C-alpha cells in the first residue's frame, strides 16, 4: 500500500518527536503538568504553550517545527512549552481547549490567542514580534519608511505620558496581529502631516492619512482603525471579504458586469464613497463572478445594481431596480440608511389565503406576528424544496402538527427558507442549512435550536422539554414514521474510533 505525502510526513514526525528513542537529545520544549502549570505561567513575561494529544496526526507533524522554534527562541528568552491533554485532561477542560493542536501565547501569566502559522519560521517571527513594544516611538527620519511598511499603519501623534498613548497601546496589543502601530511625539511632524496633536491617523498603503475624530476610547479607536483599513471604493472578492467583515461597517455593494462599466462606476462614485466611508464601505463587485451574492441581496440580474448589506444585523437594503446606480441616487439612499430611516428588505411569499392545515405555513410578512406571539410556543421548520433531508422529515413533522393541533398555545409551523427571509437578528434564527428547526418560546420569546434526529418521538420530547406551556404527560402521538438519522448528526464516536472526548478534540 502506498503512503500519501501527508501520512508520510506525520509518520516521520511521530518518529522524530513523540516516539523519540531513549538516549535522544533532551527537548528544548518544557513539558508542563497540571501542578506546575500556574506557577510556570505566572513567571513568564512572554511564552508559547502548545496543547496536544499524542494520537493527533497534526500534532505529530508539527512537533519538529515546534522543537526547532524552541531552540531558536532560547536566545530571545522566549520559552516554549507543551501540555499533553490526554494526561492533563482536567487542565485542558478548564482552559476550554477546542482542538489539537491549540497554541496560546502567555503574556505575564495571561493567555491570549496565537494567530501565527505552525512552521518554525512563522512561530519564531510571531513570538519575536510580540516581544517588541506594541507601540514603538517613530522618530522623524524613520517616519516615511514606517508609514509605508505595512498595508495598514496606525500612528498616534502625542507624547508617551498621555491618556491617548495608553488607549492606543491597549488597542495595539489587541490588534497587532492585523495592523502595524506606532506613535510620534514630534509636534512639527504632526503639523506637517496635518494631524491635530494629540491625534490618531491611519495610513492605508502609504496614502494620505485618515484622521480620527471623536472621543478617544479603546472601542472607538478599534472601530476607527478597522473601518479605515478598507479602501475607499475597493474591490470586494473572496480574498478581500474578510477585511470588510472585520471592519465592522455595513458594505455597499456596487455590482458591475463589464470592465468598462466598472471604470465608469469607480469614477462616478468615488466622492460619495469617500463622504460615507464611516457609515457604509462602498465596494465594487464583479457580477460575472458573484451573481449569487447579488441574488441573496434580492437583486435582479440587471447591471449595474446596488445594495447595502449590514452583516452584523443580518439585514439588506437593495436599491430598487431599475433606479440608476449613480451619485444622484445613491447619496440620498445611503443618507436614509445612515440616519436609520431606511427599512430593511425581507423577501417573502404572499400570505396564504387559507392556513388551517396541521402545519402552519409561515411566510416572512407574518413571521414576527406569529413567531413572536408571547402567548404561544412556536416551533418553526425552515426547509428548502430541493432538500432531500427535509422531504424525509416531512411525514414526521406533519404528524407532529396533527398531534399538537389540540394545544391552543402551541403552533407547529414551517417556512420555505429559499423564498422567505427571516426578519430577526436572533442568532438562533439565522438559518445556515436545511432542515433547521427552532422553537420560539412563549412569554420570553427565547429561540432554542433543535439538534435531535428527525423522528416524531424526538421532536415531541424536545417540545415537552423546552415549551413554556405544558403539553401533558401522555399525549405522544402514536404514528408510525420511518426513523432517519438527522442530516446534522455527527458520525458516532464509535465509528470514528475515538472516545467521546477525543472525538470532540480534533484539529480545527
From 59, 230, 334, 370, active-site residue: 59
Residues in CB range of 192: below 8 A, 6 or more apart = none
* Catalytic member of 95, 387, 448, 479: 387
Alpha-carbon span 345 to 456, nearest angstrom: 35
Neighbours of 188 (CB within 10 A): 10
**Strand locations in 354-486 (E):** 360-361, 377-383, 410-416, 436-440, 447-449
CB 496 within 8 A of CB 489: no
Please tell me whether residue 363 adopts helix, strand or coil conformation.
coil
Give the residue from 114, 99, 98, 89 showing the smallest Cα distance to 33.
Answer: 89
Gap between the Cα atoms of 268 and 264, Å rounded: 6
β-strand pairing of 152-157 with 110-113: unpaired
Q: How many C-beta atoms lie closer than 10 Å to residue 495's C-beta?
A: 9
The whole-angstrom separation of Cα 257 and Cα 287 is: 5
Using CA atoms of 417, 422, 425, 430 in order, give the dihedral in degrees to the nearest 10. -10
3-state secondary structure of 423: coil
485 touches 453 (CB < 8 A): yes
- 3-class DSSP state for residue 192? helix
- 56 is a catalytic site residue: yes
Is 387 one of the annotated active-site residues of the chain?
A: yes
Q: How far apart are CA 110 and CA 311, in angstroms?
A: 32
Q: Which of 384, 390, 393, 403 is catalytic?
A: 390
Which residue of the set 56, 190, 251, 481 is catalytic? 56
Nearest to 352 by CA among 362, 343, 341: 362
Distance of CA 211 to the CA centre of its chain: 28
Is 30 exposed, middle or buried (CB count within 10 Å of its CB: 0-12, 13-18, 19+)? Answer: middle
Which residue reads 402521538 in cell numbers?
477
Residue 398, Cα to own-chain centre: how many angstroms?
35
Cis upstream peptide for 304 (omega within 30°): yes
Q: Please give the helix or strand (H or E) that residue 116 lies within, else none.
A: none
* Catalytic residue set: 56, 59, 387, 390
Amino acid at each position: 500500500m502506498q503512503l500519501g505525502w501527508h501520512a508520510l510526513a506525520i509518520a516521520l514526525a511521530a518518529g522524530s518527536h513523540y516516539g523519540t528513542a531513549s538516549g535522544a537529545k533532551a527537548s528544548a520544549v518544557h513539558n508542563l503538568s497540571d501542578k506546575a502549570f500556574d506557577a510556570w505561567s505566572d513567571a513568564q513575561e512572554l511564552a508559547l504553550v502548545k496543547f496536544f494529544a499524542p494520537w493527533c496526526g497534526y500534532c505529530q507533524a508539527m512537533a519538529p517545527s515546534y522543537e526547532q522554534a524552541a531552540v531558536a527562541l532560547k536566545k530571545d528568552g522566549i520559552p516554549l512549552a507543551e501540555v499533553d491533554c490526554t494526561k492533563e485532561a482536567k487542565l485542558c477542560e478548564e482552559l476550554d481547549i477546542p482542538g489539537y493542536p491549540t497554541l496560546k501565547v502567555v503574556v505575564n501569566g495571561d493567555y491570549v490567542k496565537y494567530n501565527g502559522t505552525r512552521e518554525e519560521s512563522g512561530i519564531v517571527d510571531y513570538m519575536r514580534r510580540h516581544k517588541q513594544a506594541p507601540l514603538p516611538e517613530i522618530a522623524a527620519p524613520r517616519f516615511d519608511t514606517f508609514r509605508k511598511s505595512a498595508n495598514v499603519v496606525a500612528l498616534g501623534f502625542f507624547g508617551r505620558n498621555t491618556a491617548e498613548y495608553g488607549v492606543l497601546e491597549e488597542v495595539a496589543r489587541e490588534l497587532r496581529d492585523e495592523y502595524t502601530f506606532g506613535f510620534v511625539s514630534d509636534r512639527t511632524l504632526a503639523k506637517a502631516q496635518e494631524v491635530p496633536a494629540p491625534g490618531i491617523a491611519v495610513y492605508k498603503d502609504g496614502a494620505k492619512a485618515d484622521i480620527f475624530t471623536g472621543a478617544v476610547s479603546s472601542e472607538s479607536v478599534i472601530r476607527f482603525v478597522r473601518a479605515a483599513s478598507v479602501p475607499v471604493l475597493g474591490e470586494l472578492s473572496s480574498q478581500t471579504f474578510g477585511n470588510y467583515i472585520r471592519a465592522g461597517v455595513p458594505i455597499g455593494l456596487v455590482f458591475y458586469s463589464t470592465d468598462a462599466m466598472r471604470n465608469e462606476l469607480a469614477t462616478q462614485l468615488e466622492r460619495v464613497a469617500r463622504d460615507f466611508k464611516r457609515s457604509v464601505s462602498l465596494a465594487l463587485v464583479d457580477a460575472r463572478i458573484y451573481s449569487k451574492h447579488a441574488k441573496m441581496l434580492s437583486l435582479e440580474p440587471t447591471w449595474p445594481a446596488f445594495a447595502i448589506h449590514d452583516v452584523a444585523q443580518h439585514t439588506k437594503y437593495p436599491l430598487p431596480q431599475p433606479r440608476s446606480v449613480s451619485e444622484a441616487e445613491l447619496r440620498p439612499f445611503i443618507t436614509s440608511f445612515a440616519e436609520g430611516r431606511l427599512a430593511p428588505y425581507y423577501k417573502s411569499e404572499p400570505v396564504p389565503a387559507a392556513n388551517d392545515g396541521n402545519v402552519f405555513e409561515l411566510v416572512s410578512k407574518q413571521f414576527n406576528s406569529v413567531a413572536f406571539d408571547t402567548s404561544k410556543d412556536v416551533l418553526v421548520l425552515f426547509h428548502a424544496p430541493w432538500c432531500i433531508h427535509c422531504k424525509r422529515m416531512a411525514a414526521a413533522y406533519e404528524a407532529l402538527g396533527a398531534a399538537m393541533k389540540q394545544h391552543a398555545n402551541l403552533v407547529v409551523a414551517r417556512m420555505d427558507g429559499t423564498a422567505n427571509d427571516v426578519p430577526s437578528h436572533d442568532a438562533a434564527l439565522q438559518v445556515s442549512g436545511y432542515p433547521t428547526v427552532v422553537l420560539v418560546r412563549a412569554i420570553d420569546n427565547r429561540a432554542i435550536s433543535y439538534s435531535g434526529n428527525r423522528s416524531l418521538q424526538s421532536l415531541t420530547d424536545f417540545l415537552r422539554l423546552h415549551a413554556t406551556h405544558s403539553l401533558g404527560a401522555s399525549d405522544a402521538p402514536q404514528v408510525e414514521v420511518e426513523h432517519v438519522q438527522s442530516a446534522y448528526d455527527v458520525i458516532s464516536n464509535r465509528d470514528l474510533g475515538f472516545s467521546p472526548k477525543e472525538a470532540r478534540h480534533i484539529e480545527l
